[in-house]
Chain A
Amino acid sequence: MTAPAAEPKLASRAPDVAFIFKKALISALVALVLFSLMIGIRTEAGPAGQLIYWTRFGDLAAVVAAVFGGSIVVELLRQWWGPVGTIRVVPPSVQSTLAVARRAIAPVLLIFTFLVPVIFYDQRYILDLGILVLTYVMLGWGLNVVVGLAGLLDLGYVAFYAVGAYSYALLATNFGLSFWVCLPLAGILAAFWGVLLGFPVLRLRGDYLAIVTLAFGEIIRLVIINWQSLTGGPNGVSGIPRPTFFGIPLTPGDDGLAAKLGIEFSPTHRIVFLFYLILALALLTNWVTIRLRRLPIGRAWEALREDEVACRALGINTTTTKLTAFATGAMFGGFAGAFFATRQGFISPESFTFQESALVLAIVVLGGMGSQLGVALAALTMIGGFELFRGLDQYRMLVFGLAMVLLMIWRPRGLIGHRAPTVFLQHNQAISSDLVKEGHG
């Protein structure tokens, strides 16, 4: 802490004990009222259908005491940290190292990701986790095009994921087409549905847009569940063929890749191949997005996000801009869906609920909308964190929720909140997030 914050801290610490105590007492009272029914009494249906309940006042007292103590700690921390807006001077040496570190995060992360299968070759759990994280990274980057770049709040992104997965599954099981042929087809079909979603929402703003996209996602899921003759309904589609290395299957037989390369076959080969496949797809998404950002269409998206009325006043065709945003985002979702189908070998409508959509949206918002690196880091944090807390059983969601809340308090605009402008003239300037107003819809 530096000089400007020291004086008020010392002067105002003592008289505020009463304030802290009162605040903690009020928090504890609220907690008592809230939790008395939720934790204090536990009910169950008895064997004859009657309601049996027992009380857990010990737990209730513990929770209220924790809230009381936590409240005091938070208040003390807040007073020690100083009022909002105190200027802290960071020493220049730390500043320069931080700047170097910030530039180096992306390449280091990329190199590390390439080397993950090499380092963790025998730990299948880590490889599977890596594949899962990369799938969500790709979904996040795809949704980033719609939400982060074009500013269209899309709550039904899982619909395109489902369309991609089911299109690959049905094409592969009914027509026997290989993965590499079906991948572009899945993307095209998903993009088609993206455009179909785009048409009704052209005139909608803000909340209406969100709800209609949510409704769209739910419609797709319900149609998949109920159209049994086509999609098999809740039974899902099974027996989806695994991917081949450009036509050479990865099996232990004589025509397998292992035999061709002359190395010993091991099931890990397929996992490693899947890992690099999703890595390649995700990097493709990233590369296409970065290139599109510099093209007129990308700049039109960003203009749409900032102010739609001004966009139209400048002559940008908002209809085609919105439709292309949806189509592009949906296409990447479709690719991810096709990959998901081939990785699992079996898909069912339960994997495509609204919760998935909300998770991907949370990843995009947490990472900072519009920032590629932020979305990747957020996906790593959320999915990795989810797995990391698996050892805590019941308290996993609680700790996870707590971590999310803390993250949002610390970084309200997402992990990488500021947006460096895509096009700049001479100096490399980053616009701080509070100077940029987000448009709705």
Chain B
Amino acid sequence: MLGGIGSLPGAMLGGLLIGLIETLWSAYFSVEYKDVAAFSILIIVLIFLPTGLLGRPEVEKV
């Protein structure tokens, strides 16, 4: 989801990012909120990039 649905390198990148962020967060900040941090990063990325990091923008036929 973070990397964009339908994009394999996106999934890899997303997985890597989430893992890194969770561990780094729990190292420097409080460990209880690491899930919150992961979800918040997801939400923030999706606000600015609605189709994920490497996702293909959806073409909607009207």
Q: Which residues of A contact B (CB under 8 A)?
A: 200, 203-208, 211-212, 215-216, 218-219, 222-223, 225-226, 307, 309-310
Q: Decide if the interface of chain A is mainly helix, strand, loop or mixed.
A: helix
Question: Which one of B30, B32, B42, B50 lies within 8 Å of A205 (CB-CB)?
Answer: B50
- Determine whether the beta carbon of A200 is less than 8 Å from that of B43: yes
- Determine whether the beta carbon of A208 is less than 8 Å from that of B50: yes
With A211-B1, A218-B35 known as contacts, the answer to whether A310 contacts B62 (CB < 8 A) is: yes
- Determine whether the beta carbon of A222 is less than 8 Å from that of B33: yes
With A200-B47, A205-B58, A307-B62 known as contacts, the answer to whether A212 contacts B35 (CB < 8 A) is: no
- Determine whether the beta carbon of B32 is less than 8 Å from that of A226: yes
- Which 3 A-B residue pairings sit nearest by Cβ, starting from the closest? A215-B39, A226-B32, A203-B50
Q: Please name 10 further chain A to chain B contacts, defined as beta carbons within 8 Å, in addition to the given A205-B60, A223-B33, A226-B32, sorted by A numbering.
A: A200-B44, A208-B51, A211-B42, A212-B42, A219-B36, A222-B33, A222-B36, A225-B32, A226-B36, A309-B60
| Alpha-carbon separation in the docked complex, A208 to B57 (Å) | 12
Contact with A along B15-37 (1 / 0, CB 8 A): 00000000000000010110110
- A203 proximity list for chain B (CB < 8 A): 47, 50
- A216 proximity list for chain B (CB < 8 A): 39, 43
With A309-B62, A310-B62 known as contacts, the answer to whether A208 contacts B46 (CB < 8 A) is: yes
| Alpha-carbon separation in the docked complex, A222 to B30 (Å) | 13
Query: What class of interface size applies to chain B in its complex with A?
Result: 20 to 34
- B33 proximity list for chain A (CB < 8 A): 222-223, 226
Total A-B Cβ pairs within 8 A: 51
- By beta carbon, the residue of chain A nearest B49 is A203
- By beta carbon, the residue of chain A nearest B61 is A309
- Determine whether the beta carbon of A223 is less than 8 Å from that of B36: yes
Nearest chain B CB to A297 CB, angstrom units: 23
Q: Decide if the interface of chain B is mainly helix, strand, loop or mixed.
A: loop
15 contacts between A and B (CB under 8 A): A200-B47, A205-B58, A206-B58, A207-B5, A208-B1, A208-B46, A212-B42, A215-B39, A216-B43, A218-B35, A218-B39, A222-B35, A225-B32, A226-B33, A307-B62
- By beta carbon, the residue of chain B nearest A213 is B43
Question: Which one of B1, B35, B60 lies within 8 Å of A207 (CB-CB)?
Answer: B1
Q: Which residues of B contact A (CB under 8 A)?
A: 1, 5, 30, 32-33, 35-36, 39-40, 42-44, 46-47, 50-52, 58, 60, 62
With A205-B58, A211-B1 known as contacts, the answer to whether A200 contacts B36 (CB < 8 A) is: no
- Determine whether the beta carbon of A215 is less than 8 Å from that of B62: no
- Determine whether the beta carbon of A219 is less than 8 Å from that of B47: no
- By beta carbon, the residue of chain A nearest B39 is A215
- Determine whether the beta carbon of A208 is less than 8 Å from that of B36: no
- By beta carbon, the residue of chain A nearest B52 is A208
| Alpha-carbon separation in the docked complex, A205 to B47 (Å) | 12
| Alpha-carbon separation in the docked complex, A226 to B58 (Å) | 37
- B35 proximity list for chain A (CB < 8 A): 218-219, 222
- By beta carbon, the residue of chain A nearest B40 is A219
Question: Which one of A205, A215, A309 lies within 8 Å of B43 (CB-CB)?
Answer: A215
| Alpha-carbon separation in the docked complex, A412 to B54 (Å) | 35
- A215 proximity list for chain B (CB < 8 A): 39, 42-43
| Alpha-carbon separation in the docked complex, A212 to B32 (Å) | 20
| Alpha-carbon separation in the docked complex, A208 to B33 (Å) | 22
Nearest chain B CB to A307 CB, angstrom units: 7
| Alpha-carbon separation in the docked complex, A293 to B31 (Å) | 45
- B30 proximity list for chain A (CB < 8 A): 226
Nearest chain A CB to B14 CB, angstrom units: 12
- A218 proximity list for chain B (CB < 8 A): 35, 39
Nearest chain A CB to B52 CB, angstrom units: 7
- Determine whether the beta carbon of A200 is less than 8 Å from that of B46: yes
- By beta carbon, the residue of chain B nearest A310 is B62
Among B5, B47, B51, the one with the most A-chain Cβ atoms within 10 Å of its Cβ is: B47
| Alpha-carbon separation in the docked complex, A11 to B42 (Å) | 59
- B58 proximity list for chain A (CB < 8 A): 205-206
| Alpha-carbon separation in the docked complex, A216 to B46 (Å) | 13
Among B40, B43, B51, the one with the most A-chain Cβ atoms within 10 Å of its Cβ is: B43
Nearest chain B CB to A152 CB, angstrom units: 14
